[in-house]
Structure 1
Amino acid sequence: MSHTNNNVSGVDNTFRRKFDREEYLERARERERQEAEARSKPKAKGPPVQRQPLKHRDYIVDLESRLGKTQVVTPVAPLSQQAGYFCSVCQCVVKDSATYLDHINGKKHQRALGMSMRVERASVKQKRKKESDSVKKGKKEKKEKAAVEETEIDPDVAAMMGFGGFRSS
């Protein structure tokens, strides 16, 4: 019966990883030196980017132009001709109208247009002007509606139906 020696010299049979402490200490010191240098150097920042506040869209979003149409989808087609809605500002394609609306109202798209996600505060003068415009618009709509109602009723038909007696003379 031969007896095997488990303690053969030069063979690591502990199956545990051994770390060189000096090497890792040196790495830590080097990293601390680099961080200290980075803190001491002034950061080279450019001027802050001025973005416009959000504003109303000046174009109509076309969601119905491709409704009910069939399209052949090929893997080699350019982005603008792929299936879905193409955003020329961000150079991306989204697959449905809801996602497209979320995209064009989202932060990434608005930043690409040069807008911040903040809304410009209205002054008192602007608020009063808007209120007076809405009051004028409401009065104008009421007058137009009344004029349309008066012209819609044919006097012969009204007399035949018995509506002729309701008007005051």
Structure 2
Amino acid sequence: MSSFQGHYGASTGGDTGFRRTWDKEKYKRGAEQEESAPDESTKKKRKKKTEPEEEVSEEPQMLRARDTKVDLETHLNKTQVVTVSSDANRQPGYYCDVCDCTLKDSVAYLDHINGKRHQGNLGVSMRVERSTVEQVRAKLASLKKKIDQPAPEYDLDKRVEQIKQQEVRDKEARKQEKKERKKKDKEEKAAALAPVKDEEARPMDPEMAALMGFGDFGTSKKKK
């Protein structure tokens, strides 16, 4: 009886396994040769794995109070055109140049700059420096001195008068700006109409006027 060959060349009457087989001895010899004479790239990889990571010499700074005001009003009431392919610093929202990310609102931005990731990129830990007894006493003394100082007198009438004067100055400034803008628009319109007026004021050629039948226009004399 004739034997049939399978799709992978194996006889149907014998081993029916069709999975790929590997020469284990060949790969074993290759691995042994690599172990005996590793190349430079292999040496570097092994050295990188075995050597301990170098410790950072600079210690992170302690967390301290912010001495500058966070600017959240730079782009207030401004229009910005953005595209899908824009960089992170051109996307709408609050951009953090330290972490290269954009936050969509001010609350998320404040949470981010006060968070562990941002402070870590600045080299600041989340630990607070422990105050000494002398520092606490000095702080209490400064607060007591501030409380003991007499409160400045607040003149309500004077403040109201200052506000009124400021409103008058602002109103005059707006009127002057509006006046200057109208004057500028008027000058631009006059400059645009000047060539047209010059063309209209130019006298017409008599021959051309006669050909067009305009010779008798503009005269009150009667022909005899």
TM interval, shorter chain, is: 0.5 to 0.7
Shift, 1:123, TM fit: 0.4
Q: Any stretches of 5+ residues in structure 1 without a counterpart? A: 1-6, 27-36, 155-169
Shift, 1:125, TM fit: 0.5
SS at match of 1:131: helix
Distance 1:64 1:42, change over 3 A: closer
The reply to whether residue 9 of structure 1 matches residue 18 of structure 2 is: no
Q: Any stretches of 5+ residues in structure 2 without a counterpart? A: 1-11, 29-45, 159-224
The reply to whether residue 66 of structure 1 matches residue 80 of structure 2 is: no
Give the aligned residue type for 1:71: Q
The reply to whether residue 133 of structure 1 matches residue 138 of structure 2 is: no
Structure 1 residue ranges, 4+ long, deviating more than 6 angstroms after superposition: none
Distance 1:139 1:8, change over 3 A: farther
**Mapped partners of 1:50, 1:108: distance in 2:** 16
**Mapped partners of 1:89, 1:44: distance in 2:** 25
The reply to whether residue 106 of structure 1 matches residue 111 of structure 2 is: no
Residue 60 of structure 2: aligned partner: 51
Give the aligned residue type for 1:11: T
Q: Deviations over 1:53-109 (max 9, x none)?
A: 011222211112323333222123332222111111112111111111111001111
Q: Which has the higher contact order (CA 8 A, sep 6+)?
A: 1
Structure 1 length-normalised TM: 0.59
- The alignment covers a number of residue pairs equal to 125
Distance 1:86 1:152, change over 3 A: closer
- Calculate the aligned-residue CA RMSD, in Å: 3.4
**The structure with more radius of gyration:** 2
Shift, 1:152, TM fit: 5.0
